[in-house]
Structure 1
């Protein structure tokens, strides 16, 4: 399985966390990364996204560039357990799949899949990493590349 994990673009701080929206800069950095991914061999066939507004806005930009469907997943919010996402990954055969979510979840999930523990690595806004997993499980992924805004 090929998995792309992306953090949402830069968001404003003027409202409740779940309702924060992308800034103009955030929209631009997401569009830049989405275009880079679209030109690569890692183009996703489906996106999973957090229900928070900034992640949904990020996924909408990516989906428009990639022309792929988006599915909202309730277990992709900032403080969710990456184990819930791992369980869902075990049940899907979609590949390449892209997940659009938040820190600290994206860092914790990436670290769980690559190193087998949950001490998350940092992600910049709109950063995406590509993981290759012959078998879906903790410590089973190799980091292939990353895309930065």
Structure 2
């Protein structure tokens, strides 16, 4: 499986956490990353998105540029357990998946898949990392590329 883990684009702070929307700079950063991914061998066939507004907006931009569908998942919000996502990844039939979520979740999921622990690495907004996982499991992924806005 080829997996891209992406943090949502820059969002404003004017409302409740779940309802925060992307800023103009956030939309531009996400678009830039989407175009780079579209020109790479990492183009996904499916996007999983957090239900929070800023993640849905990020996934929408990615979907439009990459021409792939979005499935909203309620287990990839900021403080969710990356282990639940790992369990869901075991059931995935797609070979190329993009997950759009939040900190600290994206950092915890990335380190779980690469290093086998959940301490987490920081992600900038709209940053995406590309993982190659011959087998889905803790510590089974290799970091192959990253895209920055």
What interval of TM-score do these two structures reach, taking the shorter chain for normalisation?
Answer: over 0.9
Q: How many residues align?
A: 149
Quote the residue 1:112 is aligned against: 112
Quote the residue 1:65 is aligned against: 65
Query: SS where residue 58 of structure 2 aligns?
Result: helix
The answer to whether residue 18 in structure 2 is matched with residue 18 in structure 1 is: yes
The answer to whether residue 65 in structure 2 is matched with residue 52 in structure 1 is: no
CA distance in 1, matches of 2:140, 2:41: 21
Quote the residue 1:7 is aligned against: 7
Quote the residue 2:147 is aligned against: 147
Deviation at 1:92, TM superposition (A): 0.7
* TM-score, structure 2 as length reference: 1.00
The answer to whether residue 122 in structure 2 is matched with residue 122 in structure 1 is: yes
Runs of at least 4 residues off by over 3 Å:
none
| Consecutive unaligned residues in structure 2, runs of 5 or more | none
The answer to whether residue 61 in structure 2 is matched with residue 42 in structure 1 is: no
Deviation at 1:114, TM superposition (A): 0.1
CA distance in 2, matches of 1:108, 1:143: 14
Query: SS where residue 122 of structure 1 aligns?
Result: coil
* TM-score, structure 1 as length reference: 1.00
The answer to whether residue 90 in structure 2 is matched with residue 90 in structure 1 is: yes
CA distance in 1, matches of 2:76, 2:22: 17
Query: SS where residue 12 of structure 1 aligns?
Result: coil
Quote the residue 1:101 is aligned against: 101
CA distance in 2, matches of 1:124, 1:92: 27
CA RMSD across the alignment:
0.3
Deviation at 1:93, TM superposition (A): 1.6
